[in-house]
Each structure stands twice: as structure tokens, then as C-alpha cells.
Structure 1
Amino acid sequence: MTNSRMASFANEAFTDFTLEENQRAMKAALIKVRGELGGDYPLFIGGEKVMTAERTVSINPGNKDEIIGYVSKASVELVERAMNSALTAFESWKKTPAIERAQYLFDAADLMRLRKHEFSALMVLEAGKNYAEADADTAEAIDFLDFYAREMIRLSETNTIRPLTKLAGETNEITYIPLGVGAIIPPWNFPLAILAGMTSAAIVCGNTVLLKPASPTAVIAHKFVALMEEVGVPAGVINFVPGSGAEVGDYMTSHPKTRFINFTGSKEVGLRINRIASETAKGQIWIKRVVAELGGKDGIVVDETADLDQAASAIVASAFGFQGQKCSAGSRAVVVKSVYEEVLNKVADLTRKLQIGLPEDNYQAGPVIDRNSYDKILEYIEIGKREGRLVVGGEKAEGNGFYIQPTVFADVKSDARIMQEEIFGPVLAIAAAEDWKEAIDMYNDTEFGLTGAFFSRVEDRISYALEEMHCGNLYINRKCTGALVGVHPFGGFNMSGTDSKAGGYDYLLQFTQAKLTSRKNEA
């Protein structure tokens, strides 16, 4: 480990796709990845790659006729086998020095950096991300690997960084030891970044894991696991077991040997996991730890003193980036009445300019992830037509994929379903408030509490918003999406999860337990 590697952390740079050479590089990566489509992808259980008869078919959401790959599905019996493999691997992995575990992450970050465009290109095709969204996803994955590697080294030396109070006659030390075997259940919307972050945080702490990826993006998940194998992560540390959430997910969650569950996804599934994990199974000797990042109904508040052009641009970027398929997406806006129509008109104009098309052609707006999401979002749009005034969009969009027009509803009441329920699609609801304080009250009128933004030029109002807007990540005069590792530790309040702050300095504590040792000094 070089001193320069540990000296500081800097976020991976985003690729500038306005430069022709970067566009050419991405197009070349797309050609390369397309040549590998339609392959079969096995499970990873210990040192074995296991093919099964039952498979998940991953398709391109922007072109439904294109198959990305066929991913083997794990049964309960295979998950049990994976659990035994993880338990065996844990006995040696937990004793591997922290600096060695961290080195695997550094090596994986270096290799992913070399293949950055290939990972991004696969996300363009499998997840429906445009160039910038896919590139940011890969950059964040690299950041997570680097950041958590450094954090593990820091945590292993924490007794010198955060010394205990000294007591004469004793030597006292606190160390952070791993928990055991964990279930990692990541989402499809950041299929590389969040998956890599959740998995690497757990294993760098000395745990071993069962990784059940989201079915729509299981191929990119497989590519990550293969990368970790390539850099030498020992067999059994990461066991790749795609499968049904109701079958495989519940089995992992309820298993007596599962020590923790790290989940990112919907509120409904997260609450189910929390309930199942709370039930003590026969032979279980610990309280399972649940780390959960759930949904959001995030919003942007705009007062009459704000830079309205800046606010409108942030609202559109927050609402429609990656088709609104982010837990941080600003799916509602609350605007002070005196500037409401002006902001609404600016938002509507910007939204109408969003061009819809194939992600591989780098359109601003692409498809939603699959048929289930497509149908659900269209149902919410019909609800929105009853609850508000349709200003832009409101229909299916052309294309051989799951395309929906970016949609804006105005004059929506605070208690409307499209203001209260997470839609996870390109749907924005805008409401008017009498004044800035009422606007903040309306923002807080939700069961969620993930991200928010406040636009104002008045410092007293900003101070009030900083204290009163109830969310895990609050941004002033900028969009409410785009958290950076190490810069904006990410996690929410209320039904948005356990506020575990991924990409922050306390995150690894979720996957360790603190052991205090005290030794009486000899006279």
C-alpha cells in the first residue's frame, strides 16, 4: 500500500461527452458489449460456477427485442449451499488483515477504471441509462471501492485516531470486528454503484455475503462479481445467488445464520425484510442487523427571492434524470404563489425540450426499466389527470421499449396521491403555497424523508429551512439528486430507511461490532 494511495480521497472524474473522442470511446464500448449479448451467466457459490435450468431473461428496456443475457436462478437448496460456503470462508476471511482486504477493493477500482466505458455501455443497454447517467454510475462504483478501502484501513487504526480515555494501571483498546454472513439485496436503478458499494462495504470489514441482485439488471451484477473474482477475492467471500425475492430473498432474510441484511429498494419490500428479520429463527443466537435505504417522495421548495431559472432547471433535472428512477428524484415541487406560474412555465418549457429515444443514441430521456414499472407509472399518470392539471406529457412515448413522456402536473393538493406516493418514474407534481413557510410545511407533509432542496436568496429563510426541512440530505440552491461519495453521505429519515449514510465516514460501522479489551498492567 503506497502512502500516496492513502493520502487523500478524490472522486472519480465524470467523462465529458461533449468531446468527440469520448463519444467515440463509448460507441466503441457499446459495439464490444453488444458482441457479448445473449450469453449465459452462472451463479457463484464458493469456487464453483453453477448453471441452472431456470433462468432470468434480461432484456434491453429501450429495445424489447434485444436480449442482454440469461442469468441462472438460485433455488433455496442452492442458497443453503451458498450459505455454507460463506460460513466456511468467513472463518479465514475475518482473520485477513484489514489492509489486505482493502487492497482487493483498490485493485478492483483500478481494473474497473480501465474498463469504465465497458461497464457503462452495459448499463446503457441493460438499465436504459444514457451516457452521462451510466458514466456517473460507474464512477460512483469506483468511488465506493476506493472510499471504503480507505475507511477500513482508518477504522482498523481507530484506537490511535480516536483514543480512549486513559486509566492508570490499565491498557484499553477498542477494535471493530466483522459480524458474519450477510445478505446483500441491491436495487436495479444503480445496478453497479449501489451494488458495488453495498457489497464492498460488507466484505472489506471481514464479512462474507450472499448477493441477490435485482432481476432486471442481473448481468451487470454478474460482471461486478466476476471482476471481484478476477482481482483475487477468495472463493466464498461473495456468493452470487440471483433469484426470486419472495423465495430466495425471504429465505436469506429468515435464515438463522444470516447476521445482517443490507437492502436498498422499495418501502414495502424493506418493511417486509425488517419484519422477517425481527423474527428469531430456531438456532439463531443474535439480533439481526438491518441496513435499509428505501424510497423517497423528494421535493424542491422555491420562494419568491430565488433565481427562478436556476430553480426551474434543478426541478427538471431532479424530476427527470434517468426517467425519475432514483430514490432521490425530485418528484414534487412546492412554489410560493407569487412566482408559481412563472416557475411552472419555465419547468414546462424545459420539460418539452427533453428528447426521448434509445439510450445508446444518448437521448436525454429513455425508457423505464420494465413492463411492471411502465404499467404502474401509466396508472399513476391517469390518477394525476384526476388530481391535477396536466401541463406536459401524460402519454406513452414512441419506441420499441418502455417509453413514457416526461409528465408535469400543476395545481396539485398536498394530500394528493401523486404528491404522497413514490411513483419512480418521469412524473412531476407541482403545488402552490401562500408563502415560504407554508411551502416548507407542505414539503414536510410526507412519510418519507430522503432528499430535498430549498431555493432562496434570503439567509434567514435558508437557516430556517436547514433546521426545519426534515430529510437526510438537504441541498440549498441546487438539485436534490447527485450525491457524491465522501461528499454527500446518503440516507434518509422516516420511511426512507435507517439513514445509514452510504458513502460516509460512519457507514462501515453498520457491518462491524465494537469489541473493547481491557488489560490490567503488571506492577
Structure 2
Amino acid sequence: MQRLVQQFIDNQWRPSRGGRYLPVVNPCTEEVIAEVTCGHPDDVDAAVAAARRALPGWQQTTGAERAVYLDGMAEGLSRRREDLARLSAVNNGKILAEAQLDLDDAIACYRYYADQARALDERQGQPVSLDMEGVQAHSYLDPVGVVGLITPWNFPLVTSAWKLAPALAAGCTLVFKPSEVTPLPERELADIVLEVGLPAGVFNLVFGDGEGVGSSMSSHRSIDKISFTGSNRVGEAIMAAAAPGSRGVSLELGGKSPILVLEDADVNEAADYVMAGIYFNAGQICSATSRLLVHEPLADDLYQALGQRIDALRLGNPLAEDTDMGPLTSARQRDTVLGYLTQADQEGLQAVRDGRQRALPQQGYFLAPSLYRDVPVTSRLWREEIFGPVLCGRSFATEEQAVALANDSEFGLAATLVGKDAARVRRLGRRLQAGTIWYNSPQLVLPETSWGGFKRSGIGRELGPWGLNAYLEVKHLIGPAA
């Protein structure tokens, strides 16, 4: 059993000052496969001090120089792709094919920001067009400084790439806290950092939970900015902790995303998009399209097609090639989702498929997909983020009603539209309150396009040039024209 009781600080593994430890569990077998330190505020102090010492030298490097390291990190992940995918599947519970997609996404992200780092050099010193004669101004982009990065357990190596790659490209130094639930894949990043020769102190990896590490990072006065992905409850606590220092905060939080199936949609095609949008990664996706809105005449046929597809899903060992869905990542998350199924019983919801009535593997945190139809908009299952394989559906009669129902949420992360008239679905997409809207497509998340949402789904954007800008400060030099 692996023991993660050291912290990676200043390019060295150092014993944690923390005296508490947490088990790391294989969610398929319920076997304890590792032990991880809960961390200690002293660990955070040491990591922040290392990052602060490294900042002057790192921020003076050119974007082209930083790009070499980012390309090296992409290559390091590429060489380890199969091993890391298996490790992620064992630690997280997602099926191997999904874990392999995660690695590909992470690799693409590092390569994209290597290109962005090179392009950043050309953006420095750009002249600004002015109306005032005899005056000139030039714009520059400086790194924010020392940043604290906190990532969740549902997409190891992916959500960390979305933060690490742009932060390094911008010239920031960093302290990175991965989830204590899935620390094993993220631990490998330290070895890659050493391989590529990243200067000491630029990248610091600190294991821990919210009490031992997370709260200390959030309130640390020597961290210039915090970037967090996770729940709204924790995100709001981080924002409050960061407020006394007036430090920057980026938050990628929850979602309750709709998928709209219009009257001209092909039922089978629509069913495939619905399935992919909610049951991928056992529904543990912030962008899960967990609210199905279907035009009334298509409803019965669509629910029948979905029921058949749900019945065909094979639950089992994530490493087996014939498995379609693995377990939920933790017992805690499984129990949370089970609580919503109990709530559905109490509310008298109409189940098309009730996952508790299906035979499940003897071991593991498995939960079969559930599907409810004609769910009232007042239902907790309709309004709250469940973060599991639970889909709620409602029918609509008109386009206006569909848009109103889709936007009637405190979240606004993503949405999907399905219909044969591409011009129409794009027009409807412009009316939806969400950061990413797919039409006639699975959930493609591309490094070139932004990620983030409206309303309570977060603050700021990741990916694309917007992800890089999140780690940059704008500076102007103004003076007499030459």
C-alpha cells in the first residue's frame, strides 16, 4: 500500500507536518490502496514560501522558454498514458476508456498552453491607439504571482491541467492541492516536473484535506490568487476566506444543465446524446445534462429508447473492456445520491428506471442509472445538483416554454440542443443562459474554447485564451510620444 505522507516542495519530497491520515480506496473493490496525509498549515507555509522565492526568476523567463517545459509535461503524460489511465480508473472508478480520454484531454491542454505561452511574447508591448496627440501607451501582461490551485476528484489530471498549464504559461508559480480522494494520478505530476527540469519552487504539490490544507491556502496572505473547482458550498467558503486579503478568486462550481430535444429531432440520435450527457463518468460531471426537456409528441418514444439503453448498460470493473459504467468514486457520494432517490420516493416521482431495482456487483460503490419523467419543477431532484447517474425529465409544448424551463435554474454551466434545423438550434442556443452550449453533439470540451458558467456556476473562465488571461494582470506604460 502506497503512503503519500510527503509533500513535494521546492522540487523535493518532504515529510508532512500533518498527523492525520485518510485512506485512499478503490471504489470498485472497496480495498484501501493507499494512505494520504491530511496535511498541515505548516506544509502550506513552506510551499508558498518556495513559490514566492521562485517567482522573480520564473516570471522573467520568456513565454517561449516556459513553452518548452509545458511541451515536456505533455510528453511526460504521453509516455505514461496507459499506466496513468489505469491508475485513474482504479482510484476514481471511471471506466478505462473514459480515463484514456482524460489523459488525451490533459495532454492537449498542456500543448495548447505551450502555444499560448509562445504567443504571449508577441502580445507584450503592443501600442494602444490614443486620441490624445503627443502621448503614447503600450500594454503588457504580467503574471498574477503566486497562485493556489485546488481541484476535485471527478476528473484527475484534467482539471489540474486546466489550471496548471495556463498558470505556468503566464509565468506564475503555484501551490497545487489535488483532491484527497484521488491523489494517486496527480502525484505523478511531481515526477514529470523533475524530468522536465522545472526550476525549484515553481510547482509545489501539497496533499491534504480541507481542514489541513484547503482552508490554509484559501486564507494565505502570500497567495495572490486562488483557483478552485468543486462544490458551491466550498467555493463560497473559499471566496469568503480570500476576501480579507482582497485576493483574486476563480471558481468553477456546480451545474444543473438542460438538454432540449425538439420536435424535429431523431429519437435514436437524441437518446444517444441524452445518455452521454448524464451517464458518462457515472453522472459525476458538473456539466451533466441532468434536466431533460422533450417536446410532448416525442416524449413516450424517447423515454422508451432511453429505458432500453439504460437496461443495456453493463456495470462492473472499470478495467474490463466490456464495462460501460463503473462505481461512484466514494461511498460518501454514493450515499448522497441514494438520499436523492429516497427523496424521489417521498415526492412520488414517476420512475422510468429505478436503479435500486437492478442487480449490482457484490462489492463497490455502484449505483445503477435512474430516470424519472414528468418531474415537477419544484422537486429537489429537478433543482439541485445530484452529481450521480440520475436523470429528470419534463415535456414542453412550445419553444418559448422550453427556453423558459431551461433557464429556470440558479446554475448556468452548460446545455445541449437536439434538432434537425441547425439554424434554429443555434438561434435557441443564443437564448440559453449557459457558458457552453452544444447542439447535435456530445459534450466536446476543447482547449481552444472557454469553460465556465453563468449565475451560481462560477466566476471566470478556464481554457482558451480566457484561461490564460485568468493568470495575467494588464499593465500599461504611458508617456510622451517619441
Say yes or no: TM over 0.5. yes
User: CA–CA distance in 1 between the matches of 2:203 and 2:295?
Assistant: 50
1:72 aligns with 2:34: no
CA, structure 1 residues 79+39, in 2 after alignment: closer, same or farther (shift >3 Å)? closer
User: CA–CA distance in 2 between the matches of 1:460 and 1:84?
Assistant: 54
**In the TM superposition, what are the counterparts of 1:420-431 in structure 2 within 5 Å?**
420-431=383-394
**Distance apart, 1:125 and its partner CA:** 0.7
Equivalent residue, structure 2, for 1:219: 184
**2:354 alignment partner AA:** G
List runs of 5+ in structure 1 lacking aligned partners: 1-36, 281-286
User: CA–CA distance in 2 between the matches of 1:301 and 1:231?
Assistant: 46
User: CA–CA distance in 1 between the matches of 2:61 and 2:35?
Assistant: 35
SS in 2 for 1:505: helix
1:182 aligns with 2:150: no
User: CA–CA distance in 1 between the matches of 2:304 and 2:319?
Assistant: 31
User: CA–CA distance in 2 between the matches of 1:445 and 1:121?
Assistant: 40
CA, structure 1 residues 361+130, in 2 after alignment: closer, same or farther (shift >3 Å)? same
Equivalent residue, structure 1, for 2:2: 38
User: CA–CA distance in 2 between the matches of 1:208 and 1:485?
Assistant: 21
1:340 aligns with 2:302: no
Equivalent residue, structure 2, for 1:302: 261
Task: Report the count of equivalent residues.
Answer: 475
RMSD of equivalent CA atoms: 1.9
SS in 1 for 2:116: helix
Does the 8 A contact of 2:96 with 2:319 survive in 1?
yes
Does the 8 A contact of 1:181 with 1:208 survive in 2?
yes
Equivalent residue, structure 1, for 2:318: 359
CA, structure 1 residues 79+461, in 2 after alignment: closer, same or farther (shift >3 Å)? same
Does the 8 A contact of 2:447 with 2:463 survive in 1?
yes
SS in 2 for 1:335: strand
List runs of 5+ in structure 2 lacking aligned partners: none
Does the 8 A contact of 1:73 with 1:242 survive in 2?
yes
User: CA–CA distance in 2 between the matches of 1:274 and 1:462?
Assistant: 36
Equivalent residue, structure 2, for 1:503: 463
**Distance apart, 1:457 and its partner CA:** 2.4
User: CA–CA distance in 1 between the matches of 2:262 and 2:116?
Assistant: 39
User: CA–CA distance in 2 between the matches of 1:485 and 1:508?
Assistant: 11
CA, structure 1 residues 384+492, in 2 after alignment: closer, same or farther (shift >3 Å)? same
Does the 8 A contact of 1:62 with 1:399 survive in 2?
no
1:386 aligns with 2:346: yes
**Distance apart, 1:255 and its partner CA:** 1.4
**2:27 alignment partner AA:** P
User: CA–CA distance in 2 between the matches of 1:330 and 1:385?
Assistant: 22
Equivalent residue, structure 2, for 1:483: 445
**Distance apart, 1:177 and its partner CA:** 0.7
User: CA–CA distance in 2 between the matches of 1:62 and 1:490?
Assistant: 30
**Distance apart, 1:114 and its partner CA:** 1.8
SS in 2 for 1:279: helix
**In the TM superposition, what are the counterparts of 1:239-388 in structure 2 within 5 Å?**
239-280=204-245, 287-362=246-321, 363-387=323-347, 388=349
**2:341 alignment partner AA:** I
**Distance apart, 1:459 and its partner CA:** 5.2
User: CA–CA distance in 2 between the matches of 1:39 and 1:506?
Assistant: 37
User: CA–CA distance in 2 between the matches of 1:65 and 1:58?
Assistant: 8
**Distance apart, 1:463 and its partner CA:** 4.4
User: CA–CA distance in 2 between the matches of 1:163 and 1:519?
Assistant: 12
Does the 8 A contact of 1:192 with 1:220 survive in 2?
yes
Equivalent residue, structure 2, for 1:231: 196
Does the 8 A contact of 2:147 with 2:226 survive in 1?
yes
- Pairing partner for 1:117 from 62, 77, 82: 82
1:436 aligns with 2:409: no
- Pairing partner for 2:434 from 471, 487, 494: 471
**Distance apart, 1:199 and its partner CA:** 1.5
**2:447 alignment partner AA:** V
Does the 8 A contact of 1:156 with 1:176 survive in 2?
no
User: CA–CA distance in 2 between the matches of 1:72 and 1:230?
Assistant: 25
SS in 1 for 2:36: strand
Equivalent residue, structure 2, for 1:493: 454
**Distance apart, 1:515 and its partner CA:** 1.2
SS in 2 for 1:328: coil
* More off after superposition, 461-470 vs 89-98: 461-470
- Pairing partner for 2:14 from 50, 73, 77: 50
Does the 8 A contact of 1:334 with 1:431 survive in 2?
yes
CA, structure 1 residues 49+73, in 2 after alignment: closer, same or farther (shift >3 Å)? farther
User: CA–CA distance in 1 between the matches of 2:165 and 2:298?
Assistant: 46
**Distance apart, 1:115 and its partner CA:** 1.6
Does the 8 A contact of 1:335 with 1:430 survive in 2?
yes
1:405 aligns with 2:368: yes
User: CA–CA distance in 2 between the matches of 1:132 and 1:398?
Assistant: 20
**Distance apart, 1:55 and its partner CA:** 3.0
**1:110 alignment partner AA:** E
**Distance apart, 1:117 and its partner CA:** 0.8
**Distance apart, 1:358 and its partner CA:** 0.7
**Distance apart, 1:171 and its partner CA:** 5.0
Equivalent residue, structure 2, for 1:516: 476
**Distance apart, 1:172 and its partner CA:** 3.2
TM-score relative to the length of structure 1:
0.87
SS in 1 for 2:271: helix
Equivalent residue, structure 2, for 1:34: none
User: CA–CA distance in 2 between the matches of 1:73 and 1:267?
Assistant: 22
**In the TM superposition, what are the counterparts of 1:83-232 in structure 2 within 5 Å?**
83-159=48-124, 163-165=127-129, 169=134, 172-232=137-197
Does the 8 A contact of 1:149 with 1:204 survive in 2?
yes
User: CA–CA distance in 1 between the matches of 2:73 and 2:185?
Assistant: 15
